[in-house]
A = this chain, B = another copy of it.
């Protein structure tokens, strides 16, 4: 095994370690038991990879990360209780991130610095989470979801594919704080929630809607709605929004933006037409013939 990896100084490797070819592990790393690393995985200095973590090939983990962090049950007896963490291929997890055991993260995950992801987070492919984003776990995040810096995803949140969430947005979950009732937010595909907005517990935000910066969303938001303000009010239909510089309509954005999106080089409609009906319905609901 040692001949497959380039290992830094002062590392500690636990039992039952498995790794692919061309793996690099930096200095002062601690790899606990039952860790599996795919081919070409790069782990930077001072990382702690706890028990039962599996990292897909071609992934990079920045310095000072803790991968497979303990859940609350550890603190009851100071003993590890088994919670596997799976991270898919091609992840880039920047320095200082803390990802708990007990979650499942898809391929092409990108995390900024000091991101936390707690247990029971089910995260799709091509998701990014910016610096200081705090995913509280017990949540479901689809594919191609982009969370910018300092997003707070409360437990029970559901975020569907291709949503964009901007800095300091909070998805809350307690309708009568403090309580033991939990009502997560559900944000549907292609919705955009701009900077510093707060979404109140149990709110449903339909696909293709746009929540303006600084909005407090206290009612459900319909498809295509533009909601702005505190409290949030419907200010129009996104299809009426014009780019101030060009004078052209811009939304739904999926017809005007494709960087890192699955329809890149195909166009949205061409890509969409290749999906099966279940996927189409998930993305755009009943309204699957939707266009601009």
Interface residues, chain A, CB within 8 Å of chain B? Answer: 9-10, 12, 24, 27-28, 30, 40, 42, 45-46, 48, 60, 62-64, 66, 69-70, 74-75, 78, 92, 95-96, 98, 112-114, 116, 131-132, 134, 136, 146, 149-150, 152, 164, 166-168, 170, 172, 175-181, 192, 194-196, 198, 200, 213-214, 216, 228-231, 241, 243-245, 250-251, 253, 256-257, 259
Q: Give the residues in chain B near A134, CB-CB below 8 Å.
A: 131-132, 149-150, 167
Q: How far is the CA of A95 from the CA of B69 in the complex (A)?
A: 9
| Known contacts A95-B69, A150-B150, A214-B216; A177 and B172 CB within 8 A of each other | no
| B95 in contact with A66 (CB, 8 Å) | yes
| A213 in contact with B216 (CB, 8 Å) | yes
Q: Give the residues in chain B near A180, CB-CB below 8 Å.
A: 257, 259
| A179 in contact with B132 (CB, 8 Å) | no
Q: Give the residues in chain B near A112, CB-CB below 8 Å.
A: 116
The residue from B28, B177, B243 contacting A194, defined by CB atoms under 8 A apart: B177
| B231 in contact with A229 (CB, 8 Å) | yes
Q: How far is the CA of A229 from the CA of B9 in the complex (A)?
A: 55
Among A70, A180, A214, A228, chain B packs the most CB atoms within 10 A around the CB of A214
Q: How far is the CA of A150 from the CA of B153 in the complex (A)?
A: 12
| B12 in contact with A9 (CB, 8 Å) | yes
| B170 in contact with A192 (CB, 8 Å) | no
Q: Give the residues in chain B near A27, CB-CB below 8 Å.
A: 12, 30
Q: Give the residues in chain B near A195, CB-CB below 8 Å.
A: 170, 172, 198
| A92 in contact with B75 (CB, 8 Å) | yes
Q: Min CB distance, A38 to chain B, in Å? A: 14
